[in-house]
């Protein structure tokens, strides 16, 4: 037993001396070895046998090309913006990796070193790199991106150039960049292995209510009508022109009902209307906004010829001179109105204007039935004779006669809207049957001696 113990103690002493000697030798070798061991690579770039400076240059040369090609790309539809990797101070932890490569197999106890060297001999050792960038630079672009992309919603607009020519300005859909969400995407854009994730800019969209397509149906004249007036009656002419100017440019969407009262608004002196003759209780008397009914009648006949649905229409109490019987229309206050519905497939643009002694109203839109022709026919069923009132006036010389109001016969009449195709009548619809009062004549007869 004593002999065996002595042998064991001696063996242990020898082993310690061996390990100590190997360690000292290894430490001395490591201290003298200024190069990286063979079999070591950084991000699959072989750096074995290189000094630290040589390894750093070899790795950085490869990475510089990658960084030069890097970009953080922002996109939104057809819009895009790229920020270079250099501008973002893109970098890899090359210095740390080179130091790790240099230290491999040179640090730690002898057993660890021996194991590391054995691994190098068998499979080599690859050191990964981590990537980083200065994202504060990218965040500085958020304001610019919002400035480029943010848009205020605007409906498509429509303008009549005259002579049947129209201009449509396309709609603009509103865009609002979500800047907080964009910052979060930027902060998460770096790929640990290198490079950046492309960013689709987050934004909300507000769609325009009126698109250019909605205006595309206004492409042709579908009806037009004119009536004549006495241009010498300045007050009445002014009222007719004001009504035409107010109506001009009205847009009537499919299914929408036009109201003459709503279109022209209150007929007041504050709104520019003058006193002119109006019909009250079967007589022509001075009144505010005289002439408005001629504008109304002209609009009514344009609507008839466009084959629109008439919702409301009222005749005058007296037959008017500027239009055939049963084709007139009157409005009064807010109780009597002219209303019609756009029964076509497209919006209607109403053009109204006056020239010397004429008011014209044209409807532009889409003629859904170009094969059809519309005619308005009126007929008088019977007349109602007018009486005359004689007024004896001592301020006039005897035998002198002056008409204060000439008598005008009344009548009963009706109107039809007829539809023709290739000259053949396919439809005849009764529009109205109306009774016009006769206008009593008033004749002044002089009695002075």
Q: What's the whole-number mean pLDDT along residues 69-98?
A: 96
Q: Does residue 285 surpass a pLDDT of 70? A: no
Q: Does residue 366 surpass a pLDDT of 70? A: yes
DSSP string, 316-368: -SB--TTS-TT-----BTTTB--EEE--SSS-EEEEEEEETTEEEEEEEE--S
Q: Does residue 16 surpass a pLDDT of 50? A: no
Q: Does residue 3 surpass a pLDDT of 90? A: no
Residue % of the chain over a pLDDT of 90: 73
Domain ranges for the chain, please list them. Answer: 1-31, 33-216, 217-448
For the CA atoms of 4, 9, 10, 15, the dihedral, rounded to the nearest 10 degrees, stands at: 130
Spatial contact of 416 and 430, defined as CB atoms under 8 Å apart: yes
pLDDT of 12 reads 44
Residues in the chain: 449
pLDDT of 336 reads 94
pLDDT band of 109, cuts 50, 70, 90: confident
Q: Does residue 11 surpass a pLDDT of 70? A: no
* Closest C-alpha among 327, 440, 321, 424 to residue 384: 440
Q: Sign of dihedral through CA atoms 268, 272, 277, 279?
A: negative
3-state helix, strand, coil in the chain (%, to 5): 30, 35, 35
322 in the Ramachandran plot: left (φ > 0), alpha (ψ -120 to 50) or beta? alpha
Q: What's the whole-number mean pLDDT along residues 290-318?
A: 95
Surface-to-core class of residue 365, CB atoms within 10 Å of its CB (0-12 exposed, 13-18 middle, 19+ buried): buried
């Amino acid at each position: 037993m004593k002999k065996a113990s002595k042998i064991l103690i001696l063996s242990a002493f020898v082993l310690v001396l061996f390990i100590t000697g190997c360690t000292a030798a290894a430490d001395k070798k490591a201290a003298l070895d200024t190069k990286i061991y063979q079999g070591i690579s950084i991000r699959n770039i072989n750096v074995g046998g290189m000094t630290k400076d040589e390894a750093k240059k070899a790795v950085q040369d490869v990475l510089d090309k990658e960084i030069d090609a890097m970009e953080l790309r922002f996109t939104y539809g057809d819009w895009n913006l790229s920020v270079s990797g250099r501008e973002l101070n893109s970098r890899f932890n090359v210095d740390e990796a080179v130091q790790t490569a240099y230290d491999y197999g040179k640090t730690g106890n002898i057993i660890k070193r021996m194991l590391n060297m054995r691994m190098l001999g068998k499979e080599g050792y690859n050191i990964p790199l981590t990537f980083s960038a200065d994202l504060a630079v990218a965040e500085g672009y958020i304001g610019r991106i919002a400035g480029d992309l943010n848009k205020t919603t605007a409906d498509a607009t429509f303008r009549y150039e005259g002579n049947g020519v129209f201009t449509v300005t396309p709609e603009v859909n509103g865009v609002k960049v979500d800047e907080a969400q964009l910052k979060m995407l930027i902060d998460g854009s770096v790929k640990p292995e290198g490079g950046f994730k492309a960013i689709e800019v987050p934004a909300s969209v507000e769609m325009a209510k009126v698109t250019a397509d909605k205006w595309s149906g206004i492409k042709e004249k579908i009806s037009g009508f004119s009536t004549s007036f006495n241009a010498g009656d300045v007050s009445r002419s002014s009222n007719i022109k004001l009504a035409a100017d107010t109506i001009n440019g009205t847009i009537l969407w499919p299914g929408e009902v036009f109201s003459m009262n709503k279109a022209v608004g209150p007929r007041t002196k504050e709104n520019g209307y003058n006193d002119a003759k109006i019909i009250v209780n079967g007589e022509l008397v001075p009144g505010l906004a005289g002439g408005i009914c001629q504008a109304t009648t002209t609009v009514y006949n344009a609507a008839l010829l466009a084959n629109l649905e008439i919702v409301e229409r009222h005749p005058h109490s007296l037959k008017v001179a500027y239009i055939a019987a049963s084709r007139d229309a009157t409005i009064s206050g807010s109780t009597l109105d002219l209303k019609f519905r756009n029964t076509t497939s497209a919006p209607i643009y109403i053009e109204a204007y006056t020239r010397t002694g004429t008011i014209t109203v044209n409807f532009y839109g889409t003629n859904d039935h170009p094969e059809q022709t519309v005619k308005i026919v009126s007929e008088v069923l019977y007349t109602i004779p007018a009486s005359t009132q004689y007024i004896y006036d001592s301020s006039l010389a005897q035998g002198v006669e002056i008409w204060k109001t000439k008598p005008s016969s009344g009548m009963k009449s009706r109107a039809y809207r007829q539809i023709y195709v290739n000259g053949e009548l396919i439809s005849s619809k009764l529009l109205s049957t109306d009774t016009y009062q006769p206008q009593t004549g008033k004749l002044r007869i002089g009695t002075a001696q």
